Amino acid sequence: MASRPRILVTRTLPEAIEARMRELFDFTDDLTAAEVLVPTIVDTVDEALIDRAGPRLKLIANYGNGVDHIDLKAARARGIIVTNTPGVLTEDAADMAMALILAVPRRLSEGERLVRSGNWGGWGPTTMLGHRVNGKALGILGMGRIGQAIAMRARGFGLSIHYHNRRRLPDVVERAVGAVWHPELDDMLTEIDILSINCPHNASTHHLIDAGRLELLGRQGYLINIARGEIVDEPALIDALANRTIAGAGLDVFEHEPAVDPRLLALDNVVMLPHMASATIEARHATGEKVIANIRMWADGHRPPDQVLEGWA
């Protein structure tokens, strides 16, 4: 491998990251000439694109953690290594999830809009009543790094912690976050007040939260999603919000983003954000540094530290 691999970067990255990449690598706009592709989570890297890339492409160094936008099977069939950037956005994503956990039951978005409208009539004993978070039960779907960071924050607000994973966490981790494992998702949904979605999107989690599971969450339940919009059956969620069969939702992601269903926009019991859970300067720079590290290790003939292994999807 040449000391300066030829890379194709699909999006504009933070200035300092791009400057460092240009010091170390040769940039190209020609997919067929690229040895390394650096996509982001909004780029579809499917079998057709991989085929167009030609035989020179040997590494897909994803700028981001999720890899559901990459055809891993097609990449492996071509002998292309795929890397991602785990761990760099844990704290920022957990902060945003906690912000939504507070914002939705306490109607913060509605209150902010009321003040801006100029129609606020002042404090009143029955004005803008929401629900207390302290004492509620939080269910975490996907207890990885982010899920555990959310659990630690939520405990400080007096929430009890429940979680569903394919595999149970070690006892020492459960004790550290005070969490109760539910081997069956449906059983957990009947025992919680707030559901936080933090699992990856893949074939087994697509529309995992459907109409039936929203019904299990119940009329007093809230749904928080900072993971991927496709994990939730969005039309079913809209129906549940409109019919008040769940109490509310906090969404940082959408099934067809950047398009947002206009029916969601008309609802007052949902807080919506533009996929910004990881949008901190610190996270974006740390993500870029991991991409650079993965490319350099690969170029030096070593296994990249963040190689996506079999069984991810």
Architecture (CATH level 2) of domain 6-88+280-299:
3-Layer(aba) Sandwich (3.40)
- pTM score, two decimals? 0.93
Q: Which of 275, 285, 289, 296 is catalytic?
A: 275
Q: Using the predicted structure, report yes or no on whether residue 143 has a pLDDT greater than 70.
A: yes
pLDDT value at residue 164: 98
Q: Would 6-88+280-299 and 90-272 be classified into the same CATH topology?
A: yes
Q: Which of 257, 285, 289, 296 is catalytic?
A: 257
- Residue 257: active-site member: yes
Of the pLDDT bands very low, low, confident and very high (cuts 50, 70, 90), residue 306 is: very high
Q: Using the predicted structure, report yes or no on whether residue 174 has a pLDDT greater than 60.
A: yes
Cα 114 to the center of its chain, rounded Å = 29
Architecture (CATH level 2) of domain 90-272:
3-Layer(aba) Sandwich (3.40)
For the chain, give the mean pLDDT.
Answer: 96
Q: Using the predicted structure, report yes or no on whether residue 197 has a pLDDT greater than 70.
A: yes
- Residue 275: active-site member: yes
Q: Which of 153, 213, 228, 284 is catalytic?
A: 228
Q: Mean pLDDT throughout 13-17?
A: 97
**Which backbone phi and psi does 263 adopt, to 5 degrees?**
-65, -30
pLDDT value at residue 312: 47
Residue 51 buriedness (CB in 10 A; 0-12 / 13-18 / 19+):
exposed
Q: Mean pLDDT throughout 150-178?
A: 96
Q: For the chain, which residues make up each domain, given as ranges? A: 6-88+280-299, 90-272
**Interior/surface letters 2-15, b for 16+ CB within 10 angstroms, e for the rest:** eeebbbbbeeebee
- Residue 228: active-site member: yes
